[in-house]
Chains A and B, each alone.
Chain A
Amino acid sequence: MKKGIILAAVMSVFLIGEAQAGGPITVAPASGTSSAWASGDISLSPEGGTCGSFTRTEMITKIETNVAYWTDVSGISLTIILDTADITDDVTSCNYTDYYVDSSDDAGLTDSINPVIFDDDAEIVAELFGSGNQYVVLGFAGPDGFTSNYETMVDGQAFFNCRCLSGNPNGDCPGGITFSEDDLNFTVTHEIGHLIGLDHTQANQALAEAGCNDAVAGDCDDIPTMYPQSVDPADQISPARDDEVAILSLYGLATMNAASCTVTGSLTDARGRPLRCMDVQATTSNTADTITYVSGSNAVYTDSDSDGYSDDDGECTSSCGAFTLRGLSPSKTYTVRARPVDADWISGSSVGPCVHGQLTGVQVETLATITSGTCVAGATSAQGTISTSSCGGDISAASGCTGTTGDFDGDGDTECCSGDAAGVDGSSTLVRALTDDEDQSVEVQAGVTLARALLGTPLDNILAAATCSTSSSSSTSSSGCSFVKNTFSSQGSWVSIFLVLISLGGLYFHRKKKSCS
């Protein structure tokens, strides 16, 4: 039975929507509905150990205090309780796998235990993300179990890094790195935010970029709690309006909508295609009012290339450029702008759904102005389809362009919008070569979906193709069909190397558990 469950679980990971910015961390792919906990009643189970110089009792108090920043949001229907009897073990790098990603475990999905782990010596962070990251990563968290339609979360986890807290018995961290108590408090609020369903936001990023002074209370109050970095933690602990709208969208939508205005619309790029991954912001003259939404966040997806993610070419099937800005005050005047998502945030901090190719050739544009009194409480201001001048894919030199040309980066010159037909990847020469020749894309099928073959991921699937075309982007080798990408070769031996390493990783896990048992 267990094997069957695991297989089902493995298959199921290919179905879910991706994390969103300024909103839900997961979305049900078939409906585009944001995932949330069922009853708004969540139980957290703190571990039995300490966090640096903070005792377990002190940590429990910290969790209670900082969780209240979410549960005290006006209009929210969310209760978080702590069950301190569930985990009495001191969780370390030797036993954390008893709790971490336990959702495929028979018990893990039904035990109602959502572990909160204090990584006292950062051995867990170091083990999962590399040694140097134990001094950088403050914590990580998120849901890890869902009902079959992914609309409801049933399991989650949170880890707090205690290594560089002052007074940690493990000693000072290199480079003068220290985590303050404010950092810890911010981490608790931020990571529990992930566990209950929130993702990162880049609202008011300019404030963070301008630099905040840790010593000045209130100078960066408007940097959201769900901003990916601890820039000014004392000011980031309490949720900004953008955070409040995000959490109310999950646990207080009707109440929020009744008291506020909603602005909707759908973006298209210069070629008339849905424009995903634009950070749509409603702003006033007061940065405290900023509300964000990434276009396409609640789109309906498929995972046509079976890579477990839903942000590649052609995988968005409807509402791909749609945006919904909730929680606007009817008495204020807002400017609605589209901005590119910062490339910094999509490589590790899950502002999305984006791939890097979507981030070039996009421009800041004003989409609408919502003047005071024009959008009353409980109403929706529908902006319809808005055509932008952004490319929505990689741009390149105009010479030899077979696609759309225009000044996509606003520099006064003409560029080529070189994203492929679906317009959301634009990643490599291979992609474009294949999409230029439909006959070739048929030849690399061999049980593999077209999108997967187009992206060349994984490479061994392409190598296993039965035939090989004679186009300039491919060549025949003794191992079958291999493709020459750009200026370098994708060699079969390299594939072997990382497959071997994957196997070694599994062996490491095996050894690790044995050495700690």
Chain B
Amino acid sequence: MMKFPRLLFIFFILSLFLPRQSLAWSTKPLTLNQMVTLSHLIFKGQIVDVTREDDAYESGQIVSFVTYLVKPEDCIKGSCKDGKVVVKQLAGGPTTSALTPGQHFLVFYPENSKLGLVAPLGFDQGLMRMTKEGENWKIPALSKRPRLAKDPNFISGSRAATKVLNENDYESFKQIVSGLVEEQR
């Protein structure tokens, strides 16, 4: 007889508390060389769809995922031959809500984890939103990326760092990244 009121009380107490992840991160800035080294897949693509899922698994814990369906348009490292990339990312902040279908990005992705999860390399560092000016695609100015700006030796070979730092033309940047990919093979 006493058990039911106790359970009811516990339910009442628990109902006052609600879970919701609001995770945020800190990262170490990478050089472009390091970004290429750690990336499993580098491509320019367009987000086709975004879906959020909340999963309750065996322990009763809630884990939220956001899945992106991305159409690769220009593969620089790794294989994009399937014509689509499915990216499943842990939710918990505006990481995911900021991205919507139709947007174009140049992305650096590390290898998926054992759980099938992945996030752009260094989060912000590995996700560059692209814009189109006339017929040309532009990426954010690399001079805005601190580590690249402060490390004149961030790129190997004979290419001048200053040229890269001021470069926001996608085709030019792609040539540089492709060169690094070749060098690292």
Shortest CB–CB separation between residue A369 and chain B, in angstroms?
27
Residue from the list B25, B111, B131 in contact with A228, Cβ < 8 A: B25
Shortest CB–CB separation between residue B113 and chain A, in angstroms?
5
B44 on the A face (CB < 8 A): no
**Cβ < 8 Å to B, chain A residues 106-141:** 106, 108-110, 126-133, 135-141
| Contact between A457 and B54, CB atoms less than 8 A apart | no
Count, A-B residue pairs, CB within 8 A? 381
A222 CA to B20 CA, complexed, in Å:
32
Q: Which residue of A lies closest to B33 (CB)?
A: A175
Contacting residues, chain B, for A508 (C-beta < 8 A): 114-116
| Contact between A6 and B114, CB atoms less than 8 A apart | no
**Cβ < 8 Å to A, chain B residues 37-94:** 37-40, 46, 48-65, 67, 69, 71, 84, 86, 88, 90-94
| Contact between A230 and B26, CB atoms less than 8 A apart | yes
Residue from the list A131, A459, A485, A504 in contact with B51, Cβ < 8 A: A459
| Contact between A457 and B102, CB atoms less than 8 A apart | no
A464 CA to B69 CA, complexed, in Å:
19
B177 on the A face (CB < 8 A): no
A504 CA to B120 CA, complexed, in Å:
21
Q: Which residue of B lies closest to A131 (CB)?
A: B111
Shortest CB–CB separation between residue A509 and chain B, in angstroms?
5
B118 on the A face (CB < 8 A): yes
Residue from the list B59, B97, B117, B123 in contact with A97, Cβ < 8 A: B59
| Contact between A138 and B26, CB atoms less than 8 A apart | yes
Q: Which residue of B lies closest to A457 (CB)?
A: B50
Contacting residues, chain B, for A155 (C-beta < 8 A): 17, 19
| Contact between B113 and A501, CB atoms less than 8 A apart | no
A374 CA to B98 CA, complexed, in Å:
39
Shortest CB–CB separation between residue A381 and chain B, in angstroms?
30
| Central interface residue in B28, B37, B100, by most chain A CB within 10 Å | B28
| Contact between B21 and A144, CB atoms less than 8 A apart | yes
Chain A 476-517 interface mask (CB, 8 Å, partner B; 1/0): 000000000110101000110110011011101110110000
| Contact between A348 and B123, CB atoms less than 8 A apart | yes
A1 CA to B110 CA, complexed, in Å:
40
| Contact between A459 and B49, CB atoms less than 8 A apart | yes
Given contacts A104-B61, A309-B97, contact A501 B124 (CB under 8 A): no
| Contact between B61 and A97, CB atoms less than 8 A apart | yes
B27 on the A face (CB < 8 A): yes
Shortest CB–CB separation between residue A125 and chain B, in angstroms?
9
Given contacts A146-B17, A498-B69, contact A505 B125 (CB under 8 A): no
B144 on the A face (CB < 8 A): yes
| Contact between A512 and B52, CB atoms less than 8 A apart | no
Shortest CB–CB separation between residue B7 and chain A, in angstroms?
7
Shortest CB–CB separation between residue A199 and chain B, in angstroms?
6
Contacting residues, chain B, for A213 (C-beta < 8 A): 150
| Contact between A228 and B65, CB atoms less than 8 A apart | no
B158 on the A face (CB < 8 A): no
B1 on the A face (CB < 8 A): no
Contacting residues, chain B, for A494 (C-beta < 8 A): 48-49, 69, 84
A307 on the B face (CB < 8 A): yes
A243 on the B face (CB < 8 A): no
Q: Which residue of A lies closest to B134 (CB)?
A: A397
Contacting residues, chain B, for A347 (C-beta < 8 A): 95, 98-99, 120, 123-124, 127, 129
Shortest CB–CB separation between residue B23 and chain A, in angstroms?
4
Shortest CB–CB separation between residue B103 and chain A, in angstroms?
6
A46 CA to B98 CA, complexed, in Å:
33
**Cβ < 8 Å to B, chain A residues 4-32:** 4-6, 8-10, 12-13, 16, 18-19, 25-26
| Contact between B19 and A139, CB atoms less than 8 A apart | no
Contacting residues, chain A, for B53 (C-beta < 8 A): 502
| Contact between B14 and A110, CB atoms less than 8 A apart | yes
| Central interface residue in B23, B58, B63, B99, by most chain A CB within 10 Å | B23
| Contact between B113 and A26, CB atoms less than 8 A apart | no
Residue from the list B10, B113, B114 in contact with A129, Cβ < 8 A: B113
Contacting residues, chain B, for A25 (C-beta < 8 A): 22, 24
Q: Which residue of B lies closest to A459 (CB)?
A: B49
A428 on the B face (CB < 8 A): yes
A25 CA to B123 CA, complexed, in Å:
18
| Contact between B95 and A101, CB atoms less than 8 A apart | no
Contacting residues, chain B, for A164 (C-beta < 8 A): 28
Shortest CB–CB separation between residue B185 and chain A, in angstroms?
15
Shortest CB–CB separation between residue B141 and chain A, in angstroms?
9
Contacting residues, chain A, for B117 (C-beta < 8 A): 127-130, 505
Contacting residues, chain A, for B100 (C-beta < 8 A): 355-357, 425, 427-428, 455, 457
| Contact between A147 and B18, CB atoms less than 8 A apart | yes
**Cβ < 8 Å to A, chain B residues 2-38:** 7, 10-11, 13-31, 33-34, 37-38
A108 CA to B21 CA, complexed, in Å:
13
B112 on the A face (CB < 8 A): yes
Residue from the list B55, B71, B92 in contact with A142, Cβ < 8 A: B92
A228 CA to B145 CA, complexed, in Å:
12
A135 CA to B38 CA, complexed, in Å:
8
Given contacts A127-B113, A210-B149, A488-B46, contact A140 B24 (CB under 8 A): yes
A-B contact pairs, 18 of them (CB 8 A): A13-B54, A109-B19, A127-B115, A130-B109, A142-B93, A175-B34, A177-B30, A209-B143, A229-B27, A311-B97, A346-B98, A347-B120, A348-B119, A349-B124, A354-B94, A504-B116, A505-B88, A509-B63
Known: A103-B19, A130-B121. 15 other contacts (CB 8 A): A13-B19, A101-B63, A129-B119, A138-B27, A145-B17, A146-B19, A148-B16, A309-B94, A343-B140, A347-B99, A349-B123, A349-B124, A427-B102, A485-B48, A502-B55
Q: Mark B residues whose CB is within 8 Å of A.
A: 7, 10-11, 13-31, 33-34, 37-40, 46, 48-65, 67, 69, 71, 84, 86, 88, 90-103, 109-125, 127, 129, 131, 140, 143-146, 149-150
Q: Mark A residues whose CB is within 8 Å of B.
A: 1-2, 4-6, 8-10, 12-13, 16, 18-19, 25-26, 97-98, 100-106, 108-110, 126-133, 135-148, 150, 154-155, 164, 174-177, 179, 183, 186-187, 190-191, 194, 199-200, 208-213, 228-231, 307-309, 311-312, 342-350, 352-357, 360, 425, 427-431, 455-460, 485-486, 488, 490, 494-495, 497-498, 501-502, 504-506, 508-510, 512-513
